[in-house]
Structure 1
Amino acid sequence: MSLARRHRDRILAAKTVASAPHGGVAAAPAAAPLPAAGAVNASPADRAAAQIALRYTHDLRRLKEIRSIDKKIEAKREILPEYRNWVAGILTADAGVGTSVAAEVLPTCMVWLIDTGAYAEALDLVPFMFKHRVDMPSRYQRDAATIVVEEIATAALKAQGAGASFPIAILDRVADLTSHLDIHDEVRAKLLKAIGVEQLQEAEDLPADVGMAALAAAVSTLNEAQRLHERVGVKDRIKRGLKLMAAITAAREKAIAEQNDGQGGPAA
């Protein structure tokens, strides 16, 4: 895509929002479709919205025809750059997304970014979505906060289950963005479990003299996950954290005892 095209897409997206009633994305009345992308009498903003809606409809159809999950993800990686400048324009205008078909583009891109592992980019869209109360397309059957927490937590737990780590900075950012929102306890427990697993792993790699505080934080996080959902599956990790803490405490006490013995015992 040329620099001129990227610039044009971004400006048209911003104009689409700016020209809409009440600051939303420009759209035809609810009973009427968007004008055709090449309609002679359509404004640049209307044409831009129609073009992005047409592209979006085509891409949804393409994805629906793909059966393999891996191939769907590959297709989403190919598709996403085509929306980057439209989304950037919407974010720049900072006035919501309106109600036309084009209004589904930003929340859908957020999900696709999560699906493709571009978690930081997905989270960059979240403050805007919360601020403007952007609805998810009905096919997702969940609100934006639930999707963000559950999908990223699920990805983290899957990686951890395979013996890999997951960026704790991403998990912490999800927690910070959603801590004030009302979501199901089971969903939040999954996020806390993922965070606790990473905290425990990091604590295990620390020297004993600094590891106690990190272990205590990990156990606290895992206990909160357990409190929210008793079947979240963290009991073994809590036991491991407590065992490691006990081992550090015992080692410290032994070292103190040996030091006292070497000095002839404590003063009378």
Structure 2
Amino acid sequence: MALSLAQRHQRRVLAALEAAATAPAISMAGGTAYEMQLAQLLQDRLRLKQVQSNEGKAALKLQLLPAYEPYVQGVLEAGNGAQDEVLTTIMVWRIDAADYSGALDIAAYVLQHNLLMPDRFERTTGCLIAEEIAEAALKSQKTGGGFDLSTLHRTLELTYEQDMPDEARAKLYLATGRATVADLDAEHPGQPGQVEAGIELLKRAIELNSSCGGKKDLEGAERLLKKLAPPTGS
């Protein structure tokens, strides 16, 4: 059942008050708003376990996410960085449901305060954010669907100083490089310096992982750059 405007406001305010009153690195456990959302999260995870299809899970998460929005808003508005399993889980669910902007809103807070992922997630927070969004972009690009370049730029900025395996970071550079030069040609060269920027991103991906799959993309971008070069006069 959808929450009324009054219920949403009440949950957001309560979450904000509890988050503001909880010291950094201390768990949100024990707070009324947190415990209520944690109980809901456990129920929803049981529902998700009954769905075998990843597409089905993503569709169900998209339906479930609005119920957590007031809580998330309250914590992001007033939180001091308390450990929060609800917040970190919802961040991942937003990625799974293709709400990348919403996921990165949480990611900015999570990374700023060094929040830990729940034990069931094996990767560090920064690695998970970078790799999950990169893999979503690469999957879309592989099928010709493209991916929002600003989302990739924001992910790069948020995770730039985060420690992660080179192979994971290479995926993000590869996806961003591909998105930068996507649909560009001699007649549509994009913004000044755009092709060069794409080349640098693709080179960085290959430096981090020579098997990342970006060599053909790099060759194509370099050929395009040569076509765009002004003719040399005698």
2:136 is aligned with 1:155:
yes
Check conservation: 1:203, 1:214, Cα contact below 8 A: no
1:221 aligns with 2:201: yes
Give the aligned partner of residue 12 of structure 1: 14
Once the two structures are superposed, residues 157-202 of structure 1 have per-residue CA deviations (whole angstroms, 9 ceiling, x without a partner) of 1111001211100000101111122221111111111111112225
Contact 1:17 1:93 in 2 (8 A): yes
* AA in 2 matched with 1:61: L
Q: 1:27 to 1:197 in 2, by over 3 A?
A: closer
CA shift, 1:19, in A, is 3.9
Which consecutive unaligned segments of at least 5 residues does structure 1 have? 29-45, 258-268
Q: Secondary structure at the match of 1:163?
A: coil
Using a 3 Å threshold, how does the CA distance of structure 1 residues 220 and 20 change in structure 2: closer, same or farther?
closer
Q: Which amino acid aligns with 1:17?
A: A
Contact 1:203 1:211 in 2 (8 A): no
In structure 2, do the counterparts of structure 1 residues 51 and 150 end up closer, same or farther at CA, with 3 Å as the change threshold? Answer: same
8 Å Cα contact 1:145-1:181 kept in structure 2: yes
Larger radius of gyration: 1
Q: CA shift at 1:22, angstroms?
A: 5.9
- State the partner residue of 1:264: none
Counterpart contact for 2:25–2:115, Cα < 8 Å: no
Hey, what's the Cα distance between the residues in 2 that align with 1:129 and 1:200?
A: 31
Specify the alignment match of 1:243 in structure 2.
223
- The answer (yes or no) to whether the contact 2:23–2:81 under 8 Å persists in 1 is no
Check conservation: 1:10, 1:85, Cα contact below 8 A.
yes
Quickly say closer, same or farther: Cα 1:143–1:252, change in 2 above 3 A: same
TM alignment of 1:38-49, pairs within 5 A: 46-49=31-34
Match of 1:105 among 86, 103, 106: 86
- The answer for the alignment partner of 2:4 in structure 1 is 2
Read off the aligned partner of 1:73 and give its amino acid letter.
A
- Indicate the percent of aligned positions where both proteins have the same amino acid: 33
CA deviations 1:22-74 (Å, max 9, x no partner) are 6845435xxxxxxxxxxxxxxxxx43332212111101111111111121111
- Superposed displacement of residue 203, structure 1: 3.7
CA contact (8 A) 2:180 2:198 kept: yes
Residue 252 (structure 1) aligns with:
231
1:191 match: 172
CA shift, 1:18, in A, is 3.5
Counterpart residue type for residue 8 of structure 1: Q
Q: Once the 2 structures are TM-superposed, how far is the Cα of residue 21 of structure 1 from its aligned partner?
A: 5.6
Q: Which AA in structure 1 matches 2:162?
A: L
Larger RCO (CA under 8 A, 6+ residues apart): 2
With the length of structure 1 as denominator, give the TM-score of the two structures. Answer: 0.80
1:130 Cα deviation after fit: 1.2
CA distance in 2, matches of 1:63, 1:150: 22
Between the two proteins, the alignment pairs up a number of residues equal to: 232
RMSD, aligned α-carbons:
2.1
Aligned residue for 1:71?
A: 56
The letter for the 2-side match of 1:3 is L
Hey, what does 1:231 align to over in structure 2?
Answer: 211
1:50 to 30, 35, 59: 35
Q: In the TM superposition, what whole-angstrom CA distance separates every residue of 1:215-246 from its partner, at most 9, and x where no partner exists?
A: 22221211111111000011111111222222
* Gapped regions of structure 2 (runs ≥ 5): none
**Which residue does 1:89 correspond to in 2?**
74
Q: Does structure 1 conserve the Cα–Cα contact (< 8 Å) formed by 2:22 and 2:80?
A: no
The structure with the greater share of residues assigned to helix is 1
Q: TM-score, normalised by structure 2?
A: 0.90
Distance in 1 (alpha carbons) for counterparts of 2:55 and 2:135: 17
Secondary structure of 1:140 counterpart:
coil
> Does the 8 A contact of 2:24 with 2:82 survive in 1?
no
